[in-house]
Amino acid sequence: MTIARLAYLFYGTVIQPQSLRQLAIAPRTLLGVYHSGKIAFAIPRATTEQFEKTKTDYTIDNIICLSRSQFLLPGLIDTHVHAPQYPIMGNGMDLQLLPWLDTYTFPEEARFKDDAYARRVYQRVVRRTLRNGTTCAAYFGTLHTTGSQRLVDVMRAAGQRGWVGKVCMDQNAPEWYRETTDESVRGTQQLIAYVQQLDQHEREQQQPSSSASSASRCHYHKAELVEPCITPRFAPTCSAEALRRLGELAAEENKLRERAGRPSLPIQTHLSENEAEIAWVAKLFPESASYTDVYDRAGLLSSRTIMAHCVHLTAEERARLKATGTAVAHCAHSNFDLRSGVLHVRQLLDEGLKISLGTDMAGGHAISMLEAMRGALTASRTICIMEAQKQQQQQLNDKVHDDDARSQLSITEVVYMATMGGAAAMGLHDKIGMLLEANYEFDALLVDTAAPDSPFDFFEPEASAEELLADKLYMRRLEKFVMCGDDRNIEGVWVRGRQVAGTPLAN
């Protein structure tokens, strides 16, 4: 009898969102990972005898015992980020969206016609995002098809999961950074074909297993790690014809995919970010009932569509996003930095919309999803303050009203949105976002709140047994990491069971 083989066996605390308001904290979890990247088992509260027995039951390549200050967390998912804007991150934050695009963004993105420059910047972006724990990202590229292909190459080589969109713009952009409608459609088709061909090649390379039923015999592969994504930049820079043809392309492609039992094609764009943008869309598309309706008419709303921002939507628009399963990427830092507005995220959550988080780097000044979580917390508190001020101004009574913090997000909610919520937004919820489920792919971070160069100090609570053993202690560690942590607290990063950042940790 052959002994099954594991790439990794972890023994320690696992923290994982279960739903928007529920977090599982599972101490002393035995977590096995196959070479295929799939989780073999996750047994919380395992005894040392179980640990010893597992070591004899399996051939294990790497055993990692977590210390008290460490825990595993699902990988962070950035559902809206502009890879080519990395060189201007943190610069030019003095303008609002439309002049910001013309002044800073388009000139930088135009440089990506140079494939070598594109590759160089994309290597930095992918390395930096991985180091910060972003295991999966929905990237916007530029207008350039070959440049966008280089982003695919870099992600695959580094082992990062995600979407890559060749940005489409056929109007209202400078003539040196604009394309024809045909070029928008053709470039998107070429990117889809390119990724398909890479995946096909990868599948052919995979050794056929003599006992295919044994997941442990499957090897790591890169097929479907990176998906092409239909990416009209936003309605103002796309003609109605371009939007319609991109919607048709998605529909045609999805017919084939459905027959092959494959997930539908991802779609991403911007929606209702800034007041001037919304007024411009109303002028450009008078036949549409709303900004959302512009995309809806083109067939671009779907259960694999992500709309970034959505700050100023009407109730009808929100209902339409919900009905079509379209997700909203909440990009709080960007909404502050470009003075676009403050998303009332509690309202959208109450209405049952799918909400995830995005850095929107470089509209947002930070590349880290920890920053995206903090931004979302700050935005929700800003809503609370605005609501309180409104109540006071209305002078319903002259005493200060009770503190109402219902609009405020919790740590649990932002962690959900940065992990499981991101997986749901990208239609990957049956693959990633969970660590306590066998057969999920192991996309994870090893966090250490006592890392040697940690940007904060964690003081153990007084040693009452109740406090030391309770979930409370790890909740406090998680909160510290979210509020005060950075990449120095991320000691290892795995995507599909392969370590892609951090120091080699196996012992």
Q: Spell out the residues 6+ positions from residue 468 whose beta carbon is closer than 8 angstroms to its own.
A: 460, 461
Q: Please report, as residue ranges, which positions from 250 to 279 form the binding site for ligand GUN (by CB under 6 A).
A: 270, 273
- Binding flag, residue 234, ligand GUN (CB under 6 A): yes
Contact yes or no for 40/438 (Cβ under 8 A): yes
Question: Residue 179 Cβ, how far from ligand GUN at the closest point, in Å?
Answer: 15
Q: Which is nearer to Zn ion, 309 or 477 (CB)?
A: 309
- Binding flag, residue 168, ligand GUN (CB under 6 A): no
Of 88, 101, 376, 478, which lies in the binding site for ligand GUN, with binding defined by CB under 6 A? 101
- Binding flag, residue 312, ligand GUN (CB under 6 A): no
Question: Residue 496 Cβ, how far from ligand GUN at the closest point, in Å?
Answer: 29
Cα–Cα distance measured from residue 298 to residue 307, given in angstroms and rounded to the nearest whole number: 14
Chain position whose Cβ is nearest to Zn ion: 360
31 binds, among ligand GUN, Zn ion, none (CB under 5 to 8 A by kind): none
Cα–Cα distance measured from residue 397 to residue 464, given in angstroms and rounded to the nearest whole number: 46
320 binds, among Zn ion, ligand GUN, none (CB under 5 to 8 A by kind): none
Of 108, 227, 253, 360, which lies in the binding site for Zn ion, with binding defined by CB under 5 A? 360
The residue range among 34-42, 97-105, 246-254, 414-422 that interacts with ligand GUN, by the rule CB under 6 A, is: 97-105
* 23 beta partners: 17
273 binds, among ligand GUN, Zn ion, none (CB under 5 to 8 A by kind): ligand GUN
Q: Which is nearer to ligand GUN, 126 or 169 (CB)?
A: 169
Cα–Cα distance measured from residue 330 to residue 409, given in angstroms and rounded to the nearest whole number: 13
- Binding flag, residue 148, ligand GUN (CB under 6 A): no
Of 363, 375, 422, 433, which lies in the binding site for ligand GUN, with binding defined by CB under 6 A? 363
Cα–Cα distance measured from residue 203 to residue 488, given in angstroms and rounded to the nearest whole number: 36
Q: Please report, as residue ranges, which positions from 71 to 90 form the binding site for ligand GUN (by CB under 6 A).
A: 82
Whose tokens are 């398909």? That residue is: 196
How many helical (H) and strand (E) elements, i.e. helices and strands, does the chain have?
17, 16
Cα–Cα distance measured from residue 138 to residue 155, given in angstroms and rounded to the nearest whole number: 11
Cα–Cα distance measured from residue 117 to residue 211, given in angstroms and rounded to the nearest whole number: 45
Question: Residue 85 Cβ, how far from ligand GUN at the closest point, in Å?
Answer: 7
- Burial of residue 284 (number of CB atoms within 10 Å: 0-12, 13-18, 19+): middle
Question: Residue 37 Cβ, how far from ligand GUN at the closest point, in Å?
Answer: 32
Contact yes or no for 55/2 (Cβ under 8 A): no
97 binds, among Zn ion, ligand GUN, none (CB under 5 to 8 A by kind): ligand GUN
Q: Which is nearer to Zn ion, 32 or 84 (CB)?
A: 84
Q: Spell out the residues 6+ positions from residue 1 whose beta carbon is closer than 8 angstroms to its own.
A: none
Question: Residue 233 Cβ, how far from Zn ion at the closest point, in Å?
Answer: 9
CA separation, residue 289 to residues 20, 297, 323, 506 (Å): 32, 10, 17, 57
Residues that bind ligand GUN (CB under 6 A): 82, 97, 101, 105, 233-234, 270, 273, 334, 360, 363
